[in-house]
Structure 1
Amino acid sequence: MGNSESSSTNPRFASASRAFSLNELEDLRSLFTSLAAQSQTDGKYVTLPVFKAYIGIDGPLGDRMFDLMTQKRKDQKLTFEDLVIAKGTYEKGTNDDIEEFVYQLLDINGDGIVGRSGLEAVLTAMLGNLFHQEYSKSKGDSRDEIVDIFINAATFTKDGAESNMSFEDFRKWCSLLPSVRKFLGSLMIPSDPGSQIPQLLHQDNIHPSLILLRKEYAWHIGGALPQHELDEWKLLYHSSVHGQSFNTFLGNIQNDEGRTVLLIKDKEGYVYGGYASQPWDRHADFYGDMKSFLFQLFPKASIFRPTGANHNLQWCAVNFSSESIPNGIGFGGKVNHFGLFLSANFDQGHTFVCTTFGSPCLSKTHQIYPEVIECWGVVPHKVEKDRPEVIKGTVLERFKEDRHMLNMVGLANSSE
């Protein structure tokens, strides 16, 4: 195989090879042979165009990936040794190794600066790959807006004349955007990009322009969920269609033990919400488990997972007469000071800095006035889909989850 056999003189190649089984090394040899044949180089190396076609990424991000894979030699030749060394780091390395590799990907120009323009190029390539459309920075384009909401979650520090995202800034950004980290960490593991995006199902009488949950938002939220929860999400409640009613909301989402994604757009234009891993059932205290989380969608995108500070995950109080038990639904914090709360009349609520999720105030102000409220049911991959029923008050099909897929552990109530 030409270059694929000359491995003994490179200690990095020898070290990387030990990370793979014999079968895995043979698979890598087969991959290299195929790509080198497509490159028409007599089996010696893989060219840039063939490599970019293989990973499905064109433009600056594909160029930078090739540059790192070829150990920055600038000779436009990806050898078998390069492939093994890079994949040994990128797939078999420690989490620190992988994150360092991904961080270098963001340095599109290779000048040691991870700036806003570099992130724009990376995100434009990512979103174009995921959603099969051209993402551009044209003025007024809603796709331009999507690129910006992900960058708005980033922190940059001044490095001379330019703003630079440090490695620690990058790690914080990745914790807020797990979908971005997941994508950039799997470029050399070709798969169907659509598998990272749930199919969004809704009634035909709801115009798409009314729906808050864009595909890009669903991809962002899904970055914090296991693969089997990224199959289908069904719209169970939308305030513009079903009315801004707590009772209708609860009636529509009675889907046994289904997980749900709640979204709110308030009168300030901010969009945010929470993922509820447990059903919205009547309780007089906090309940839930550590799979729930809060998120922001606009004007910036972030996910806030439980910190472990307390177990005040979900709140659902219905028809309580005590002032110490506010009727409504919420996430995190403490009574009357939630991370996110909607009162039972669904016309107001609040959001505060929350230790439960390490989240900030999700809107412009603490007091929120919802303009749109919608809730989606998460349908795990092995859901029973052959027993359609009618949900009370709607024409949506009722679905029942396979209980073996839940595997949820309840946590005792705790105060903040």
Structure 2
Amino acid sequence: MGNSQSPPADPRFATAVRAFSKQELDDLKSLFVSLTSRSQNDSKFVPFSQFQAHFGIKGALGSRMFDLFTRGRKDGMLTFEDLVIAKAVYEKGTRDEIEEFIYELCDVNGDGILDGADLQTVLGSICDIIFSPLNVEPGSSSHQDITEVFLNAAMSEVGVTEVSMTLRDFKNWCRHLPSVRKFLGSLLMSPDSGRPGFQVPHLQYPENLSPDLLILKKEYAWHIGGALSQQETEEWKLLYHSATNGLSFNTFMGNISSGDGPTVLVIKDSKGYIYGGYASQPWERKGDFYGDMKSFLFQLYPKASIPPYRSKQ
């Protein structure tokens, strides 16, 4: 017979408890009881399958998260102490503690080396979760395409090689990709709470516009939205497209000035490079500069990057 007893108490549990209010602890206990009750194990532990099903963390990323939470015991049992200790670090820790936890999370192989293969696996899991095959839209990019543009940011902006990425390299990479950082930092929030990094702007295009002409893919919109508030990433409406509206600057100004909010300008040049900018205020014809520091530039292809001094973390 196997040993079905729970792991011994961890001395870090008492410290972790102090990071939460009584209400937060009660909520964690209710969540734990709810998860274990579905597992038919007398409320002693949460198996990986139930952990994955509730939080929706698929593939190798989900396996690595569970492994970190159970501190590498490989027994398939997530206890209440595990949950409290891990969430105390992952959600209540200092910025450095949280960044280090996320860094370890992305080392999906668990070999202490975060390399390009790890990042590719993590990005693949993100695409599987956010861009479900069931929600494929016209003009969507393949997972491989979007993974490559994010990896290119690591190679060019951060200067990472194929060998390894240090914690400092990883932090720099995340600053260029706020959407990825938001996603990785909110995995254990309630799936019904509108988790940061999970929301993809709903893109409204005219029905007569061919999908082949679409420049702003939903994956690119998700990337840009990482630097914006949740309210700003709900719905984006196409105001101007040179293929249907022509190349007149007056037409361009007339169309985009009709909106009363922020705008996203996306450009594809003759070499195939895609980039643009976010304007936080409506466009106006003026003889001098105006606006605020909320506006920023971005790159989408062949690398996806937002200058870190502009992105909102």
Alignment of 1:292 with 2:295, yes or no, is yes
Q: Match for 1:22: what amino acid? A: K
Output the CA distance in 2 between the equivalents of 1:33 and 1:302: 42
User: Aligned pair in 2 of structure 1 residues 185, 130: CA closer, same or farther (>3 Å)?
Assistant: same
* Other-structure match for 1:249: 252
* Other-structure match for 1:261: 264
Deviations 1:229-254 (A, max 9, x none): 11110000000000011100001012
* Other-structure match for 1:77: 77
* Other-structure match for 1:88: 88
1:118, CA displacement in angstroms? 0.8
* Other-structure match for 2:138: none
Q: Aligned with 2:237: secondary structure?
A: strand
Q: Which runs of 5 or more structure 1 residues have no equivalent in the other structure? A: 135-140, 308-356, 358-416
Q: Which runs of 5 or more structure 2 residues have no equivalent in the other structure? A: 135-140
* Other-structure match for 1:310: none
1:11, CA displacement in angstroms? 3.0
Output the CA distance in 1 between the equivalents of 2:59 and 2:40: 22
Q: Aligned with 1:39: secondary structure?
A: coil
Q: Aligned with 1:264: secondary structure?
A: strand
* Other-structure match for 2:224: 221
Normalising to structure 2: TM-score of the pair? 0.89
- Which of 235, 238, 241 is the equivalent residue of 1:235? 238
Output the CA distance in 2 between the equivalents of 1:43 and 1:231: 39
**Which is richer in strand?**
1
Q: Match for 1:209: what amino acid? A: D
User: Does the aligned pair in 1 maintain the 2:130–2:198 contact within 8 Å?
Assistant: no
User: Aligned pair in 2 of structure 1 residues 92, 156: CA closer, same or farther (>3 Å)?
Assistant: same
Q: RCO higher in 1 or 2 (8 Å CA, sep ≥ 6)?
A: 2
Q: Match for 1:174: what amino acid? A: C
Output the CA distance in 2 between the equivalents of 1:190 and 1:182: 14
User: Aligned pair in 2 of structure 1 residues 178, 264: CA closer, same or farther (>3 Å)?
Assistant: same
Q: Aligned with 1:152: secondary structure?
A: helix
1:96, CA displacement in angstroms? 1.1
Output the CA distance in 2 between the equivalents of 1:156 and 1:289: 31
Q: Aligned with 1:120: secondary structure?
A: helix
Output the CA distance in 2 between the equivalents of 1:174 and 1:20: 27
Output the CA distance in 2 between the equivalents of 1:110 and 1:10: 22
1:305, CA displacement in angstroms? 4.9
**Which is richer in helix?**
2
User: Aligned pair in 2 of structure 1 residues 228, 267: CA closer, same or farther (>3 Å)?
Assistant: same
Deviations 1:144-174 (A, max 9, x none): 111110111114656xxx6101111101110
1:42, CA displacement in angstroms? 1.4
Output the CA distance in 1 between the equivalents of 2:304 and 2:269: 16
Normalising to structure 1: TM-score of the pair? 0.67
Output the CA distance in 1 between the equivalents of 2:198 and 2:174: 20
1:39, CA displacement in angstroms? 2.2
Radius of gyration: which is bigger?
1
1:188, CA displacement in angstroms? 0.4
User: Does the aligned pair in 1 maintain the 2:69–2:82 contact within 8 Å?
Assistant: yes
Alignment of 1:174 with 2:174, yes or no, is yes
Alignment of structure 1 residues 265-344 onto 2, 5 Å: 265-306=268-309
Q: Aligned with 2:236: secondary structure?
A: strand
Alignment of 1:202 with 2:205, yes or no, is yes
User: Does the aligned pair in 1 maintain the 2:127–2:143 contact within 8 Å?
Assistant: no
Percent identical among aligned pairs is 58
Q: Match for 1:269: what amino acid? A: G
Count of residue pairs brought into register by the alignment = 296
Q: Aligned with 1:213: secondary structure?
A: coil
Q: Aligned with 1:75: secondary structure?
A: coil
Q: Aligned with 2:277: secondary structure?
A: strand
Alignment of 1:48 with 2:42, yes or no, is no
Structure 1: which 4+ aligned runs deviate by more than 4 Å?
192-195
* Other-structure match for 1:58: 58
Output the CA distance in 1 between the equivalents of 2:159 and 2:38: 41
Q: Aligned with 1:302: secondary structure?
A: coil
Output the CA distance in 1 between the equivalents of 2:178 and 2:37: 36
Deviations 1:89-115 (A, max 9, x none): 111111111111111111011001111
Output the CA distance in 2 between the equivalents of 1:255 and 1:303: 27
Q: Aligned with 2:163: secondary structure?
A: strand
Q: Match for 2:302: what amino acid? A: P
1:291, CA displacement in angstroms? 0.5
User: Does the aligned pair in 1 maintain the 2:183–2:198 contact within 8 Å?
Assistant: no
Output the CA distance in 2 between the equivalents of 1:306 and 1:119: 23
Q: Aligned with 2:38: secondary structure?
A: helix
Output the CA distance in 2 between the equivalents of 1:177 and 1:299: 14
1:86, CA displacement in angstroms? 0.6
Output the CA distance in 1 between the equivalents of 2:159 and 2:50: 34
Output the CA distance in 2 between the equivalents of 1:224 and 1:12: 35
Output the CA distance in 2 between the equivalents of 1:83 and 1:235: 44
Output the CA distance in 2 between the equivalents of 1:25 and 1:92: 13
Output the CA distance in 1 between the equivalents of 2:309 and 2:91: 27
Q: Aligned with 1:87: secondary structure?
A: helix
Output the CA distance in 1 between the equivalents of 2:59 and 2:198: 23
Q: Aligned with 1:304: secondary structure?
A: coil
